[in-house]
Amino acid sequence: MQHFKTLSAYLEYLELPRPEHPMFSLYSAMGGDFLPCPKESSPPITNDCYTISFKKFVKGELTYGRTKYDFTNGALFFIAPRQVLQWDSSAVFEQKGFSINFHEDFLKGTDLAHQIKKYGFFSYSANEALHLSPSEERQIESIVESIKVEYHNNQDEFSKSIIIAQLGTLFQYANRFYERQFLNRKELSNDLLEQFNQHLGTYFQSGRLEEKGIPSIEQLAAELSVSQRYLSDTLKKETGKTTTEHLQLYLIDEAKNILLKPNKSIAEVAYELGFEYPQYFSTLFKKKEGMSPSEYRDKYRLN
C-alpha cells in the first residue's frame, strides 16, 4: 500500500494545487466556485496528514463501499493520519465547501497536538460524518474564513499559532455539534444498543467464548457496521458506559450464574467465559463487584 510521508507528496498524488505552506493547505469554495477535483480514483493509500473536509455535493451521489450517501446538505469529515483511504470513479467530485489538510508535525510542540487525540470523530467512518444545520454551517465557515485569511497572508512568526488556535476552535465546535447529532439520533442510538446486546447474547450462546475467547470491540463494531470509536461514543452518550464497560458487565453477569453452579473451579469459570488467564477474570470481577469470585460464591451459596 502506498504511503505519503509529506503533505506535498500526498497533494501531488491527488493532483491538487501545491500548498502555500509545506505542512498546511486549505482549499475553499464556499461561494460561487467549486473545489478543485482530486484524481478520479485511487487504490488504498495512507498518509501522515490530518484532513478536515466540508462537502456539499451539487449533483449525484457519493459511494463508500456498497452504500450510497446523500450529502447535498453538507457533511463534515475528519480523517486522522494513517487511516486507509480509497475511492473510485463512482464518486461525484463537483462540490462546494472546503478542505483543510495538515501534516501531523504541524502541531508538534503545541497543546493541540495532545488535545486532537481526544477527539473521537477523527476515528469515525464516512457514514458517521457530522451533518451540519444551516446555523452550524455558518459558524464553521466563519472559522475557516479566518484561517483562510491567515493562510493567504504573508506568513510571519504569528501565522502558525493563529491558525492552530482557529483549528482548536473548529474542533471544539465540531465536538459540540456531534453532541447535538447524538441527541437527535436517539432512536438510532437505542437501536444500536439493542443490536449490540443481541450480538453479545448470540456470541455467548453459540459457545464461541471457550473456543475463540472474548470478542474484541473491533469485531463487535464490524458486525454492527459502525466504527469502533463511534460505537463506544454512541453507547457512552446513551448509557454513560463505553463499549468495553458494557462487554465487561455482560461477562460479569454471566460469571455470576456460572459461579453458583456446583463443582466448577474459579479457573474453569474463567476459561468458560473466554478469559485466557483466570487471574485477570478474578481481578475484573473484584473491581466490578467489590468482592472476589470466591467471596461471591460463598456469600450467595449460603443464601
> What is the per-residue pLDDT across 8-44, written as a single tens digit (0 to 9) for each?
999 999 999 899 899 999 998 866 666 777 777 888 8
Q: Specify burial of residue 205 (Cβ count, 10 A radius: 0-12, 13-18, 19+).
A: exposed
- Which of the pair, 227 or 72, is modelled with greater confidence? 227
Q: Report pLDDT for 187.
A: 59
The residues pairing with 280 across neighbouring beta strands, listed in sequence order, are none
- Which of the pair, 59 or 203, is modelled with greater confidence? 203
pLDDT band for 94, please (50, 70, 90 cuts): low
pLDDT band for 85, please (50, 70, 90 cuts): confident
Q: Report pLDDT for 61.
A: 47
pLDDT band for 50, please (50, 70, 90 cuts): very high
Is the per-residue pLDDT at 97 higher than 60? yes
Each domain of the chain, given as residue ranges in start order, spans 2-184, 187-302
Question: Cell numbers 493562510 correspond to what residue?
Answer: 151
Q: Report pLDDT for 186.
A: 62
Q: Report pLDDT for 149.
A: 92
What cell does 136 get?
452550524
Give the lowest-confidence range in 232-241, 245-254, 289-298: 232-241
Average per-residue pLDDT in the chain? 84
Identify the H or E element spanning 203.
helix 186-205
Q: Report pLDDT for 150.
A: 92
Mean pLDDT computed over 276-297 = 92
Q: Report pLDDT for 148.
A: 93
> What is the per-residue pLDDT across 102-129, written as a single tens digit (0 to 9) for each?
999 999 999 999 999 999 999 888 778 8
Distance (Å, whole) CA 20 – CA 102: 11
Encoded amino acid at 17, one letter: P
Nearest to 95 by CA among 52, 143, 54: 54
pLDDT band for 91, please (50, 70, 90 cuts): low
Is the per-residue pLDDT at 154 higher than 70? yes
Nearest to 79 by CA among 102, 54, 50, 47: 50
Q: Report pLDDT for 109.
A: 92
Distance (Å, whole) CA 119 – CA 112: 11
Q: Which fold has domain 187-302?
A: Arc Repressor Mutant, subunit A (1.10.10)
Distance (Å, whole) CA 171 – CA 278: 42
Identify the H or E element spanning 163.
helix 159-184
Distance (Å, whole) CA 293 – CA 48: 46
Distance (Å, whole) CA 155 – CA 20: 10
- Which of the pair, 198 or 146, is modelled with greater confidence? 146
Calculate Rg over the CA atoms of the chain: 24
- Is residue 249 within 8 A of residue 197, CB to CB? The reply is no
Residue 176 phi/psi, 5° resolution?
Answer: -65, -45
The answer as to CATH 1.10.260 being correct for domain 2-184 is no
Q: Report pLDDT for 89.
A: 66
Mean pLDDT computed over 232-237 = 85
pLDDT band for 197, please (50, 70, 90 cuts): confident
Q: Report pLDDT for 62.
A: 46
Pairing mode of beta strands 75-79, 130-131? antiparallel
pTM of the model: 0.73
Q: Report pLDDT for 42.
A: 83
> What is the per-residue pLDDT across 58-73, written as a single tens digit (0 to 9) for each?
454 444 333 444 444 5
Helix (H, G, I), strand (E, B) or coil at 97: strand
Mean pLDDT computed over 141-161 = 89
Q: Report pLDDT for 71.
A: 45
Q: Give helix then strand counts, H and E, for the chain.
A: 12, 10
